[in-house]
Amino acid sequence: MACLLETPIRMSVLSEVTASSRHYVDRLFDPDPQKVLQGVIDMKNAVIGNNKQKANLIVLGAVPRLLYLLQQEASSTELKAECAVVLGSLAMGTENNVKSLLDCHIIPALLQGLLSPDLKFIEACLRCLRTIFTSPVTPEELLYTDATVIPHLMALLSRSRYTQEYICQIFSHCCKGPDHQTILFNHGAVQNIAHLLTSVSYKVRMQALKCFSVLAFENPQVSMTLVNVLVDGELLPQIFVKMLQRDKPIEMQLTSAKCLTYMCRAGAIRTDDSCIVLKTLPCLVRMCSKERLLEERVEGAETLAYLIEPDVELQRIASITDHLIAMLADYFKYPSSVSAITDIKRLDHDLKHAHELRQAAFKLYASLGANDEDIRKKIIETENMMDRIVTGLSESSVKVRLAAVRCLHSLSRSVQQLRTSFQDHAVWKPLMKPILESGAVELLCGLTQSDNPALRVNGIWALMNMAFQAEQKIKADILRSLSTEQLFRLLSDSDLNVLMKTLGLLRNLLSTRPHIDKIMSTHGKQIMQAVTLILEGEHNIEVKEQTLCILANIADGTTAKELIMTNDDILQKIKYYMGHSHVKLQLAAMFCISNLIWNEEEGSQERQDKLRDMGIVDILHKLSQSPDPNLCDKAKTALQQYLA
């Protein structure tokens, strides 16, 4: 009975909601074409800015009828164009509206419409396609399904400034990744769009610019081509530089800076080129200032982080431009209670998106501090920096957490570098202190349990850096917080980067004799099990090399080496890798043997005898003839231990 009751109730609600809209749909079925046209025009006026009306008309089935009229040969061109306008207006409503339109196969119908000779109809179809393709619910692939579409769109670029604006906008929204870039590039996108950068229409220039930014992103082929393109006798990079001057609209400055950034990162422009150092970098720093809107500050900081990431010279220049490091501290204070924003809508928007500012600041700090010790010191000394990172590590947004851990990871590199280079406790001691006191170790250990592989990698990476030549207490803290169960879970992680960084962490934990012996006395059994599993598994050379290096560290312990000597299975594996075809693995296995047979240590005679009985000395003789000088030297040194 319940099923029967349900229908009439729903119908009555619907009839109430849609009665006022029904006459619009009914008029679409009038036998008089003139009345149909007038009905479509009235419908167009009724739906402008009225989301409720749009939803009603969709529920009442207006979309299939409009699409039918749009595709009917008998329909006048004016009627077809008006149908496309109404459909475009419906698409501007909610995401559900767009889904309904997609379900009715609107895209093939509109693409078919582009074959019409009538320009007004073509423009209406393109405007509607632009609205649909810029919606997040529309799959970009729908643009590439039919191979004839892209070349036809390229041909339509010359028809009017509207076709130029809409087509460029469609391209820039639907170009996601190298496959799409290649399709557009092969169909002449660069040549067809370049001259639009000098169009009289600002909208056309802007959309063309956006096209180039998505085409060049991480694409050396496109970027190398763009460098040499001439437009009205001027090279494209020079045009981009003109477009990022201060008197140009912010959107244009930002997008031009992106184009130049992407071309630089793709290797088409040198990092020391004046258009990068004197134009692009300062423009992006300007975008980080308080005066800019939230989204401009986010985009500016993220693009700048990407530009300077691999280049220490650019990092140094950026760090002393316009007090950037201090300017980024403001990203965490926004919007404040005394914010100057009087526009309530803007304030509401910014409160919802404030986390994007924090994410962008962390990313830029990570890039700034990637290589230079002085810059790191400045960042670490920025007010409340460590507190901000720790807060960031426990934020609800995955993106902020990831950016915070990247930042911590970048700053913790100084720990590793300083300890190896000039033992400057002045920087790394205070740095380790706030990291440990702020509870970062527990948070990083927590991140290693994330479902997101990038978070796991960065969490374990930062721990690996902290464990490097660290005091026993720090190592114990890491092991305790991480737990051996989690450590072994990470050693069987399906993500190769996670596995490599976990092996790196284990290697750093097992360094210096007292630490090796201490850790192996409590966790030896599990560590030996994990090592065995990895050496037996289907892993690449790098993974196995790291694992053998861990064994070599264990073999360097005083009591720990007995865990290897009493494990025949492991000894056989070391022997096997000494005879492996890959030199890296042979060398790593050699380190294990050298540490086990070293003369000056207690019990060395028994260990030497046992290894001799296993045939290790014969292998050493063979390796002492190796064409690889490194391997040959190591084998000879090991043999001398037997002779001493």
pLDDT in tens, 115-171: 999 999 999 999 999 999 999 999 999 999 999 999 999 999 999 999 999 999 999
Q: What is the mean pLDDT of residues 319-336?
A: 89
Listed range (362-366, 386-390, 435-439) with the worst mean pLDDT: 435-439
The pLDDT value recorded for residue 341 is 57
Residues 6+ apart with CB under 8 A from 566: none
pLDDT at 249 over 80: yes
Q: 482 or 434: whose pLDDT is higher?
A: 482
Whether the bond between 335 and the residue before it is cis, its omega within 30 degrees of 0, is yes
The per-residue pLDDT of the chain, averaged, comes to 89
The residues pairing with 231 across neighbouring beta strands, listed in sequence order, are 234
Model confidence at 197, pLDDT cuts 50, 70, 90, reads: very high
pLDDT at 11 over 70: no
Phi, psi values for residue 370, rounded to 5°: -65, -30
Condensed to tens digits (0 to 9), the pLDDT of residues 443-486 reads 889 889 988 888 888 889 889 988 888 888 889 889 999 998 89
The pLDDT value recorded for residue 386 is 82
Listed range (10-14, 243-247, 317-321, 502-506) with the worst mean pLDDT: 10-14
Model confidence at 432, pLDDT cuts 50, 70, 90, reads: low
pLDDT at 440 over 90: no
Buried b (16+ CB within 10 A) or exposed e, 589-620: bbbbbbbbbbeeeeebeebbebbeeeebbebb
Model confidence at 549, pLDDT cuts 50, 70, 90, reads: very high
Condensed to tens digits (0 to 9), the pLDDT of residues 215-241 reads 999 999 999 999 999 999 999 999 999
Q: Which two tokens stand for residue 568?
A: 């025949």
| Residue the block writes with tokens 């409590």 | 522
Q: 216 or 408: whose pLDDT is higher?
A: 216
Residues 33 and 25 sit within 8 Å (Cβ to Cβ): no
pLDDT at 55 over 50: yes
pLDDT at 591 over 90: yes
| Residue the block writes with tokens 């339509």 | 156
The pLDDT value recorded for residue 325 is 95
The pLDDT value recorded for residue 424 is 46
Q: 467 or 68: whose pLDDT is higher?
A: 68
Q: What is the mean pLDDT of residues 621-637?
A: 92
Identify the top-confidence range among 10-19, 337-346, 377-386.
377-386
Residues 6+ apart with CB under 8 A from 189: 154, 171, 211, 215
The pLDDT value recorded for residue 439 is 77
Model confidence at 423, pLDDT cuts 50, 70, 90, reads: very low
The pLDDT value recorded for residue 165 is 98
The pLDDT value recorded for residue 431 is 61
The pLDDT value recorded for residue 453 is 85
Distance separating the N- and C-terminal Cα atoms of the chain = 97
Listed range (38-42, 324-328, 637-641) with the worst mean pLDDT: 637-641
What is the full DSSP assignment across 484-525? HHHHHHHTT-SSHHHHHHHHHHHHHHS-SHHHHHHHHHHHHH
The pLDDT value recorded for residue 615 is 94
Question: Rounded distance, CA 8 to CA 29, Å?
Answer: 26
Question: Rounded distance, CA 46 to CA 58, Å?
Answer: 13
Question: Rounded distance, CA 625 to CA 382, Å?
Answer: 57
Condensed to tens digits (0 to 9), the pLDDT of residues 292-317 reads 999 999 999 999 999 999 999 999 99
The pLDDT value recorded for residue 337 is 52
